[in-house]
Amino acid sequence: MEPCRPLREKHVEGSVFFAGVLFSLLMLVSISPVSAQQSIVFPDTLKGGEFSWAGGVNGTQASYRNWSKGGVNTVAITGESNALYLYRNERFQYGSRLILKYGYARLENTGGRKTEDLIEFRHRFLYSLSPDNRKINVFANLMVSTQFNEGYKYASDPNTPDELVSSWLSPLVFTENAGLAMTTGQYSLEVGLGLKQTYVRRASIGSRYGLTGTDKVRNEGGVTLGLVYKEELMENVQYIGNLDTFTSLVEPFNQTDVNLSNKFIGRINSYLRTTFQFDLVYDRDFSPDIQVSQVLSAGIALEL
């Protein structure tokens, strides 16, 4: 898919900017309550197998004609599917999660751009070291992630082409790690050794992900750390924090990959949620600067 190029017209530039900021706040919607925590956590009450699904679709349309307050015609849609399977048999536990997200927004005079794009499949294995104490476990994790569509760094100058930074299977990231985990009903802490493989189908953007020349695959080994913390701050308000790090055995310690996610979830009723999420990502292969994402959203949650 070719990117839509921005068309800068002076008489609409101010209203386009204002509408874009407001539209981004309204349309980056988290519609699934279980998406607040991408990690796999096993409830203490689990016995046997259990399957759950959550997801939905949000859409927005705005149209203006001869409107004194100004405005930009917009159409947007965001969808998410989150399937989870959990199994427990005495000291053994297994879980898998498949997350699919995609969002698209189109603003008049600016064109179409995606707002969400994720394919992620996780597997988690736990085995308790003691039949009487499930807090200390041997763990193994496997995760694969990519995206559906092209992603661009959009140029501010209309005469400069947009820069392709990602696409389907570019990158495709596999991570595997194993070690010891301490889990309770409120938090999970794990430390282990891991492997990471980064595949880039389009070699032209491989340098953005630590590849050189025409290489399409990069292999790394390192030390992993994971922390999940949950807290009911007050009635119907929950905080969930995730911290994941990967320290390569051949890179300096200050180049450790860090992914920190903070999410506050307010439950209005059984179907309505409001969410504030603040994420920080440091990945030296992609950029020497910290990546920041902040989303305030409200939406409908569907669960099975």
What's the pLDDT tens digit per position in 22-35? 333 333 333 333 33
Bigger pLDDT: 169 vs 186 = 169
pLDDT score of 55 more than 90: no
CA distances from 54 to 77, 261, 273, 304 (A): 17, 20, 13, 6
Neighbours of 15 (CB within 10 A): 17
pLDDT digits (tens, 9 = 90+) for 209-245: 888 888 999 998 999 999 988 888 988 898 989 999 9
pLDDT score of 184 more than 60: yes
pLDDT score of 94 more than 50: yes
Q: Could you state, in order of their start, the residue ranges of all structural domains in the chain?
A: 10-303
> What pLDDT sits at residue 124?
93
Residue recorded with tokens 């794990």 = 190
What tokens does 70 get?
């100004």
Residue 122: pLDDT band (50, 70, 90) is: very high
pLDDT score of 200 more than 50: yes
pLDDT score of 126 more than 90: yes
Bigger pLDDT: 14 vs 171 = 171
Q: CA–CA separation, 183 vs 227, rounded Å?
A: 10
| pLDDT, averaged across the chain | 80
Q: What percent of the chain has pLDDT over 70?
A: 84
pLDDT score of 271 more than 70: yes
Q: Helix, strand, or coil here: 10? A: helix
> What pLDDT sits at residue 67?
77
Is residue 75 a contact partner of residue 105, using CB atoms and an 8 Å limit?
yes
Query: Under CATH, which architecture does the 10-303 domain have?
Result: Beta Barrel (2.40)
| Burial class of residue 69, CB neighbours in 10 A (0-12, 13-18, 19+) | exposed
Residue whose C-alpha is closest to residue 119's, from 172, 188, 68:
172
Residue 8: pLDDT band (50, 70, 90) is: very low
> What pLDDT sits at residue 7?
38
Q: CA–CA separation, 248 vs 253, rounded Å?
A: 8
Bigger pLDDT: 110 vs 249 = 249
